[in-house]
Amino acid sequence: MDGSYLSHAGVIAASRSFVCIRPLTYESAIEAPYLQSLFRGRSGNLENTVFAMLGPDAKTQLCRTGRSPDFAFRSPDEMAAAMKQILQKYPDAKSISQPLPLLPNVRLGLNVSSCDNTPLAIIYSPEKSTRVRLEQQLAKLAWSKDHIGQVQYCVATTAEELKPLGLEKTTKPGVLVVQPGAYGNNGHLISAVDVTAEASKLADAVDFALLVSEFQQKTMRSHVSQGQRLGVNWKTAIPVTDSGGRGRGRR
Protein backbone atom coordinates (compact mmCIF):
# COMPACT_ATOMS: atom_id res chain seq x y z
CA MET A 1 0.00 0.00 0.00
CA ASP A 2 1.16 3.52 -0.77
CA GLY A 3 2.04 5.18 2.52
CA SER A 4 1.57 8.64 1.02
CA TYR A 5 -2.15 7.89 0.86
CA LEU A 6 -2.71 6.01 4.09
CA SER A 7 -0.54 8.39 6.11
CA HIS A 8 -2.30 11.49 4.78
CA ALA A 9 -3.91 13.51 7.60
CA GLY A 10 -7.20 13.93 5.74
CA VAL A 11 -7.46 10.22 4.94
CA ILE A 12 -6.68 9.29 8.54
CA ALA A 13 -9.32 11.72 9.86
CA ALA A 14 -11.98 10.36 7.49
CA SER A 15 -11.05 6.76 8.27
CA ARG A 16 -12.17 7.19 11.89
CA SER A 17 -15.76 6.81 10.65
CA PHE A 18 -14.98 3.74 8.52
CA VAL A 19 -14.45 0.14 9.59
CA CYS A 20 -10.86 -0.43 8.48
CA ILE A 21 -9.90 -4.04 7.75
CA ARG A 22 -6.46 -5.39 6.95
CA PRO A 23 -6.85 -8.45 4.66
CA LEU A 24 -4.63 -11.48 5.17
CA THR A 25 -4.20 -12.25 1.43
CA TYR A 26 -1.91 -15.30 1.28
CA GLU A 27 -2.28 -16.03 5.00
CA SER A 28 -5.93 -17.10 4.83
CA ALA A 29 -7.49 -19.70 2.56
CA ILE A 30 -10.90 -18.45 3.71
CA GLU A 31 -10.33 -14.80 2.84
CA ALA A 32 -8.52 -15.38 -0.45
CA PRO A 33 -11.60 -16.18 -2.61
CA TYR A 34 -13.39 -13.09 -1.31
CA LEU A 35 -10.42 -10.83 -2.07
CA GLN A 36 -10.14 -12.42 -5.49
CA SER A 37 -13.80 -11.55 -6.13
CA LEU A 38 -12.97 -7.90 -5.47
CA PHE A 39 -9.87 -7.66 -7.64
CA ARG A 40 -7.74 -9.80 -9.93
CA GLY A 41 -4.57 -8.64 -11.62
CA ARG A 42 -3.50 -9.27 -15.19
CA SER A 43 -2.79 -12.89 -14.39
CA GLY A 44 -6.36 -13.39 -13.22
CA ASN A 45 -5.15 -14.56 -9.83
CA LEU A 46 -5.10 -13.11 -6.33
CA GLU A 47 -2.40 -10.46 -5.98
CA ASN A 48 -0.36 -9.54 -2.96
CA THR A 49 -2.39 -6.46 -2.04
CA VAL A 50 -6.05 -5.55 -2.57
CA PHE A 51 -7.66 -2.18 -1.91
CA ALA A 52 -11.41 -1.61 -1.83
CA MET A 53 -14.03 0.62 -0.24
CA LEU A 54 -17.30 -1.20 0.35
CA GLY A 55 -20.73 -0.26 1.61
CA PRO A 56 -22.16 -1.62 4.88
CA ASP A 57 -23.33 -4.73 3.03
CA ALA A 58 -19.67 -5.60 2.27
CA LYS A 59 -20.67 -5.98 -1.39
CA THR A 60 -21.34 -2.53 -2.85
CA GLN A 61 -18.09 -1.17 -4.28
CA LEU A 62 -17.78 2.55 -3.53
CA CYS A 63 -14.70 3.17 -5.66
CA ARG A 64 -12.53 1.35 -8.16
CA THR A 65 -10.80 -1.63 -6.58
CA GLY A 66 -7.17 -2.41 -7.22
CA ARG A 67 -3.84 -3.08 -5.60
CA SER A 68 -3.68 0.25 -3.77
CA PRO A 69 -5.57 3.55 -3.35
CA ASP A 70 -3.87 5.07 -6.40
CA PHE A 71 -5.91 2.76 -8.61
CA ALA A 72 -8.98 4.78 -7.61
CA PHE A 73 -7.68 8.22 -6.67
CA ARG A 74 -5.19 10.58 -8.30
CA SER A 75 -3.96 11.94 -4.96
CA PRO A 76 -4.40 11.55 -1.19
CA ASP A 77 -6.41 14.78 -1.18
CA GLU A 78 -8.83 13.31 -3.71
CA MET A 79 -9.17 10.17 -1.62
CA ALA A 80 -9.91 12.15 1.55
CA ALA A 81 -12.55 14.21 -0.24
CA ALA A 82 -14.18 11.06 -1.67
CA MET A 83 -14.30 9.46 1.78
CA LYS A 84 -16.10 12.51 3.18
CA GLN A 85 -18.66 12.31 0.39
CA ILE A 86 -19.19 8.60 1.05
CA LEU A 87 -19.83 9.28 4.73
CA GLN A 88 -22.64 11.64 3.82
CA LYS A 89 -24.44 8.73 2.15
CA TYR A 90 -24.04 6.51 5.20
CA PRO A 91 -24.76 8.61 8.31
CA ASP A 92 -23.98 7.03 11.65
CA ALA A 93 -27.00 5.09 12.89
CA LYS A 94 -25.59 4.15 16.28
CA SER A 95 -22.35 3.92 18.15
CA ILE A 96 -20.42 0.67 17.88
CA SER A 97 -18.11 -1.10 20.26
CA GLN A 98 -14.37 -0.87 19.69
CA PRO A 99 -12.78 -4.20 20.57
CA LEU A 100 -9.03 -4.64 20.63
CA PRO A 101 -7.79 -4.88 17.00
CA LEU A 102 -6.10 -8.27 17.03
CA LEU A 103 -3.82 -9.87 14.48
CA PRO A 104 -4.47 -13.63 14.08
CA ASN A 105 -1.37 -14.96 15.86
CA VAL A 106 2.14 -14.15 17.09
CA ARG A 107 3.71 -15.18 13.79
CA LEU A 108 1.73 -12.62 11.80
CA GLY A 109 1.86 -10.14 14.67
CA LEU A 110 5.65 -10.00 14.47
CA ASN A 111 5.58 -9.69 10.69
CA VAL A 112 2.96 -6.93 10.50
CA SER A 113 4.48 -4.91 13.34
CA SER A 114 7.88 -5.16 11.67
CA CYS A 115 6.38 -3.87 8.41
CA ASP A 116 4.62 -1.03 10.23
CA ASN A 117 7.54 -0.16 12.51
CA THR A 118 5.50 -0.55 15.69
CA PRO A 119 5.89 -2.56 18.89
CA LEU A 120 3.77 -5.68 19.30
CA ALA A 121 1.75 -6.33 22.48
CA ILE A 122 1.09 -10.04 23.04
CA ILE A 123 -1.64 -11.16 25.42
CA TYR A 124 -0.39 -14.52 26.66
CA SER A 125 -2.57 -16.79 28.80
CA PRO A 126 -3.97 -20.32 28.46
CA GLU A 127 -7.14 -19.16 30.26
CA LYS A 128 -9.83 -17.59 28.11
CA SER A 129 -11.30 -15.48 30.90
CA THR A 130 -7.90 -13.91 31.56
CA ARG A 131 -7.34 -13.18 27.88
CA VAL A 132 -10.76 -11.54 27.58
CA ARG A 133 -10.12 -9.33 30.60
CA LEU A 134 -6.72 -8.21 29.30
CA GLU A 135 -8.17 -7.57 25.84
CA GLN A 136 -10.82 -5.31 27.33
CA GLN A 137 -8.22 -3.39 29.32
CA LEU A 138 -5.94 -2.93 26.33
CA ALA A 139 -8.82 -1.96 24.01
CA LYS A 140 -9.39 1.27 25.94
CA LEU A 141 -5.72 2.10 25.53
CA ALA A 142 -5.51 1.04 21.87
CA TRP A 143 -8.30 3.42 20.81
CA SER A 144 -7.15 6.36 22.91
CA LYS A 145 -5.94 9.50 21.15
CA ASP A 146 -2.25 9.03 21.96
CA HIS A 147 -2.09 5.31 21.18
CA ILE A 148 -4.35 4.63 18.23
CA GLY A 149 -2.36 2.97 15.44
CA GLN A 150 0.88 3.03 17.43
CA VAL A 151 0.95 -0.61 18.56
CA GLN A 152 -0.10 -3.97 17.07
CA TYR A 153 -1.81 -6.62 19.19
CA CYS A 154 -2.20 -10.39 19.15
CA VAL A 155 -2.98 -13.31 21.46
CA ALA A 156 -0.97 -16.37 22.43
CA THR A 157 -2.66 -19.28 24.20
CA THR A 158 0.37 -21.58 24.47
CA ALA A 159 4.01 -21.07 25.38
CA GLU A 160 5.05 -22.67 22.07
CA GLU A 161 3.72 -19.61 20.22
CA LEU A 162 6.41 -17.52 21.92
CA LYS A 163 9.23 -19.58 20.40
CA PRO A 164 10.20 -16.92 17.80
CA LEU A 165 11.02 -14.68 20.77
CA GLY A 166 12.93 -17.35 22.70
CA LEU A 167 10.49 -16.96 25.61
CA GLU A 168 8.62 -20.25 25.45
CA LYS A 169 10.33 -21.69 28.55
CA THR A 170 10.64 -18.64 30.77
CA THR A 171 7.58 -16.45 30.39
CA LYS A 172 4.60 -16.34 32.73
CA PRO A 173 1.11 -15.37 31.53
CA GLY A 174 0.55 -11.64 31.09
CA VAL A 175 1.12 -8.97 28.48
CA LEU A 176 4.44 -8.94 26.62
CA VAL A 177 5.45 -5.89 24.60
CA VAL A 178 8.14 -6.71 22.08
CA GLN A 179 10.09 -5.08 19.29
CA PRO A 180 9.94 -7.21 16.15
CA GLY A 181 13.06 -8.05 14.20
CA ALA A 182 13.81 -6.39 10.87
CA TYR A 183 12.26 -9.29 8.94
CA GLY A 184 9.33 -10.02 11.23
CA ASN A 185 10.43 -13.58 12.01
CA ASN A 186 11.70 -12.88 15.53
CA GLY A 187 11.92 -10.10 18.10
CA HIS A 188 12.98 -9.21 21.61
CA LEU A 189 11.10 -8.40 24.80
CA ILE A 190 10.93 -4.75 25.85
CA SER A 191 8.52 -4.84 28.78
CA ALA A 192 6.07 -7.21 30.44
CA VAL A 193 3.36 -7.23 33.11
CA ASP A 194 1.69 -10.22 34.74
CA VAL A 195 -1.99 -11.10 34.61
CA THR A 196 -2.77 -9.31 37.87
CA ALA A 197 -1.52 -5.92 36.67
CA GLU A 198 -3.87 -2.95 36.73
CA ALA A 199 -4.71 -1.03 33.57
CA SER A 200 -2.25 1.72 34.50
CA LYS A 201 0.60 -0.82 34.56
CA LEU A 202 -0.39 -2.07 31.12
CA ALA A 203 -0.31 1.50 29.84
CA ASP A 204 3.12 2.03 31.39
CA ALA A 205 4.47 -1.08 29.65
CA VAL A 206 3.16 0.05 26.27
CA ASP A 207 4.38 3.63 26.72
CA PHE A 208 7.84 2.42 27.72
CA ALA A 209 8.01 0.29 24.56
CA LEU A 210 6.99 3.24 22.42
CA LEU A 211 9.71 5.31 24.08
CA VAL A 212 12.63 2.91 23.72
CA SER A 213 11.82 0.88 20.60
CA GLU A 214 14.15 1.45 17.66
CA PHE A 215 13.33 0.93 14.00
CA GLN A 216 15.31 1.51 10.85
CA GLN A 217 13.89 3.03 7.70
CA LYS A 218 13.58 0.28 5.10
CA THR A 219 13.92 0.50 1.34
CA MET A 220 12.58 -2.44 -0.62
CA ARG A 221 15.63 -3.12 -2.77
CA SER A 222 18.20 -3.17 0.02
CA HIS A 223 15.82 -4.89 2.45
CA VAL A 224 15.11 -7.75 0.03
CA SER A 225 18.73 -8.20 -1.04
CA GLN A 226 19.90 -8.26 2.57
CA GLY A 227 17.20 -10.78 3.45
CA GLN A 228 18.31 -13.01 0.60
CA ARG A 229 21.92 -12.87 1.81
CA LEU A 230 20.75 -13.81 5.31
CA GLY A 231 18.62 -16.67 3.99
CA VAL A 232 15.38 -15.24 5.38
CA ASN A 233 12.31 -16.87 3.88
CA TRP A 234 8.64 -16.38 4.67
CA LYS A 235 6.38 -19.37 4.00
CA THR A 236 2.80 -18.29 3.33
CA ALA A 237 -0.26 -20.25 4.41
CA ILE A 238 -1.44 -20.64 0.80
CA PRO A 239 0.58 -20.45 -2.45
CA VAL A 240 1.57 -17.01 -3.74
CA THR A 241 0.00 -16.31 -7.14
CA ASP A 242 1.33 -12.77 -7.58
CA SER A 243 4.06 -12.69 -10.22
CA GLY A 244 5.65 -9.71 -8.48
CA GLY A 245 4.76 -7.04 -11.02
CA ARG A 246 2.74 -4.02 -10.00
CA GLY A 247 0.50 -4.17 -13.04
CA ARG A 248 -0.90 -0.66 -12.39
CA GLY A 249 -3.42 0.43 -15.06
CA ARG A 250 -4.66 3.61 -13.47
CA ARG A 251 -8.19 4.54 -14.48
pLDDT computed for residue 53 by the predictor: 96
CA angle 226, 231, 233 (to 5 degrees): 100
pLDDT computed for residue 244 by the predictor: 66
Pairwise CA distance, residues 154 & 144, whole Å: 18
pLDDT computed for residue 170 by the predictor: 85
Write out pLDDT tens, residues 37-81.
999 888 889 998 999 999 999 899 999 999 999 999 999 999 999
What are the backbone dihedrals phi and psi of residue 175, each rounded to the nearest 5 degrees, phi first?
Answer: -115, 125
Q: Which residues of the chain have pLDDT under 50?
A: 1, 245-251
pTM of the model: 0.89
Assigned CATH topology for domain 102-212: Glutaredoxin (3.40.30)
What are the backbone dihedrals phi and psi of residue 178, each rounded to the nearest 5 degrees, phi first?
Answer: -125, 160
**Domain ranges (residues) in the chain:** 3-89, 102-212
pLDDT computed for residue 247 by the predictor: 40
